[in-house]
Amino acid sequence: MSDTDFIPKIDLSSVLTNGITSPHSFGTLKEIKKACEEVGFFTVINHGITDTSIKKILSSCKNFFSLPLEKKLIYAPQKWNKKSDKVYRGYFPSNVNGKEGFDIGDPLLTVHMKELIQREKFEVNYDMSLIDSEWQLNINDYYDQSFNLGIILFKILINCISDNIELADIIFQRPKTFSTLRLNFYPKQDEPIEISSQDGVALGCETHVDSGIMTILYQDKKGGLQVQNRNNLQWYNVPYDPNSLIVNTGLALQFLTNDYFKATNHRVLVNSEERISIPFFLEPSYDFYLNPSSLNITDKPIHEVNTYEVFLNHSLKKFIEYDRNI
């Protein structure tokens, strides 16, 4: 099986034009359902996120990562910047796991939302206006469009297995969600992060599944992203298309659907050249219980039922970039 055969490409134009419940969209819904049942990954074209929005966030991304390290560390959390009042939001350097990153929470969160910002991980984003006057506009626009696309895709999946499509409006209440936009810069790597124990391949990012409901990923050039076939455990490259976004289901969706839609192992090969990736992690409100009964699933839950906040705190322990112990 070729890479393009394994990772389906799906055109969302019918859904965005006609709506999820239109008969004209049924074919697209079936494609997405099948992709999530069998692979857990697919690419989308005509996805609604504008080229202008992508170009602008890429510009802000490149501007930031081109700064000297000492300037970037001003916008890092406490582990790398002892003067910071943040623990999770902001910049992390490449010595963490071979890539530089910048984590951005919901731009709607403000210092006046006392009840929320008292909770762990709810931190107001850095003010970046001193280094990029367009940063906030570019981030807000891309965050909003990614969030809206994620809601549409979530409604499609829920519509496939439940009649409770309104659940999306309940569990994705901004700014109560943990949804995160991450900017990643992968430098050219001379040394791998690890060597795969399965096939001896040099990796730039270790094998993992994502924690959230789903991830929507943009890449500025061909990367080394690979997806594991659940049946034969072979690895397939995700085909690169400059006009597409990559979508994958996460562990929270697996818990919520009682393993109907499963998270899929993926990894990144060592980088032969510099590149940028921009994942958006769609995550529910912190107080939402990942209970299959929310979808009218009557089978006994396979996984322990907890709030998303409890689930996420446990899930993130396996990611080295979220180890913020000083």
Per-residue pLDDT reduced to its tens digit, 56-84 = 999 999 999 999 999 999 999 999 999 99
If one compares 40 and 221, the residue with the highest pLDDT of the two is 40
Rg (CA), the chain: 19
pLDDT at residue number 321: 67
CA atoms 172, 176, 178, 182: torsion sign: positive
On whether the CB atoms of residues 107 and 139 are closer than 8 A, the answer is yes
Report pLDDT digits (tens) over 49-63: 999 999 999 999 999
For helices 135-161 and 26-38, angle between their N-to-C axes, nearest 10 degrees: 90
- What is the average pLDDT score of the chain? 91
Burial of 274 (0-12, 13-18, 19+ CB in 10 A): middle
What confidence category does residue 192 fall into, taking pLDDT thresholds of 50, 70 and 90? confident
If one compares 322 and 30, the residue with the highest pLDDT of the two is 30
pLDDT at residue number 324: 62
List phi, psi (to 5°) of 55.
-65, -40
pTM for the complete prediction? 0.95
- Rounded to a whole number of angstroms, the distance between the first and last alpha carbons of the chain is 47
Upper half-sphere CA count for residue 34 (Cβ side, 13 Å)? 11
pLDDT at residue number 99: 87
What confidence category does residue 322 fall into, taking pLDDT thresholds of 50, 70 and 90? low
Residue 51 DSSP SS3: helix
Q: In order of start, what are the domains of the chain with their CATH numbers?
A: 3-322 (2.60.120.330)
Kindly state the average pLDDT of the residues 168-178. 93
Report pLDDT digits (tens) over 193-215: 778 878 778 777 788 899 999 99
Q: What single-letter amino acid sits at 160? A: C
What CA dihedral angle connects 154, 160, 163 and 168, to 10 degrees?
0
Would you list the DSSP string of 158-210? HHHH-S-TTHHHHH--TTSB--EEEEEEEPPPSS-SEE-TTT--EEEEEEE--
pLDDT at residue number 62: 94
Report pLDDT digits (tens) over 257-292: 999 999 999 988 887 788 899 999 999 999 999 999
Kindly state the average pLDDT of the residues 163-172. 87
